[in-house]
Amino acid sequence: MANSETRSEPISVEAAAALLRAGHLCAFATETVYGLGADATNADAVLSIYETKGRPRFNPLIIHCADLAMAETLALFSPLARRVAALWPAPLTLVLPARPGNGLADVATAGLDSVAIRIPDHPLALALIRATGRPLAAPSANPSGKLSPTTAEQVIAGFGGRVPVLDGGPCNSGVESTILRVNEDGLVQLRAGAMAREDISARLGLPIDVVEEGAAIAAPGMLLSHYAPDAQIRLNTTPRPGEAYLAFGKAEAFDGPMANLSPGGDLREAARNLFAMLHQLDAAGCQTIAVAPVPEHGLGEAINDRLERAAAPRG
């Protein structure tokens, strides 16, 4: 699609919802920044977010819901979580325990058993999620490493007109949402954002802790180690007897727990299978999982990043 074409044909909510339901991406306005949206229950659609942004690592994405009923299908809400969720719609993301069998793609939550959810305070975003009838994964709609866009024009320029945009005019806040983790005993701010911690605290009448400096900066990256498997991981290798084997592409038969990310050597298929297969092999109870080499191009970069983190020594 040519740049000028995208610009001259504003997309309607219905058309945007139809694209999303069919597994395509659509950028949309929110009150924080423009989001690059995908059906969060569709692994291929979510992987397109990574490909389109050129994002080199799988970090968990914020899942955008239309209302509390939709949010409750995805996460378990404690009484405390309900109290905080009463502030929605707002530029406020809550990290909550995932509801088992919630239908979200593994790649949307980076295989974690928690999920980051928010209800955006923007009529167009809400109309889109409602019309789509699915929760939307939506990181900022910019190529990885570039500034977050606050107008549809910036989104169009950033992706060279390749991504349709539901234009809601300039974003109100221009800053990402504040992220709070809701623990059993209180609230912790994981990322400062558009809603000031003091304001949230005052409105709820509750204290909000902050993750210590350093930890705060490392939080998104360190999340990956939350999910570190129990088994040791050996990379770029073939398995020894007694190990489990995570293969990629053509692989010799192996007498032990084995899974193949993609027998045909397809990186997209490998990305789709990555989290589930790591869990599966980890559950087999071997001390070590040997992992075959995965090429470093396209989605391979994010796959390898995740494998390297899983293999990193833990303290």
Residues 120-149: x where in contact with Mg ion by CB under 5 A, - otherwise, as a string: --------------------x-------x-
Among ligand AMP, Mg ion, none, the one that 18 touches (CB under a kind-dependent 5 to 8 A) is: none
Does 273 sit near Mg ion (CB under 5 A)? no
In the bound state with Mg ion, the residue whose beta carbon lies nearer, of 147 and 222, is 147
Shortest Cβ 102–ligand AMP spacing (Å): 12
In the bound state with ligand AMP, the residue whose beta carbon lies nearer, of 61 and 277, is 61
Shortest Cβ 289–ligand AMP spacing (Å): 23
Shortest Cβ 110–ligand AMP spacing (Å): 7
Among Mg ion, ligand AMP, none, the one that 164 touches (CB under a kind-dependent 5 to 8 A) is: none
Among ligand AMP, Mg ion, none, the one that 223 touches (CB under a kind-dependent 5 to 8 A) is: ligand AMP
In the bound state with ligand AMP, the residue whose beta carbon lies nearer, of 111 and 239, is 111
Residues 148-187: x where in contact with Mg ion by CB under 5 A, - otherwise, as a string: x---------------------------------------
Among Mg ion, ligand AMP, none, the one that 273 touches (CB under a kind-dependent 5 to 8 A) is: none
- The region that residue 40 occupies, defined by phi over 0 for left and psi between -120 and 50 for alpha, beta otherwise, is alpha
Interface residues with Mg ion (CB under 5 A) are: 140, 148
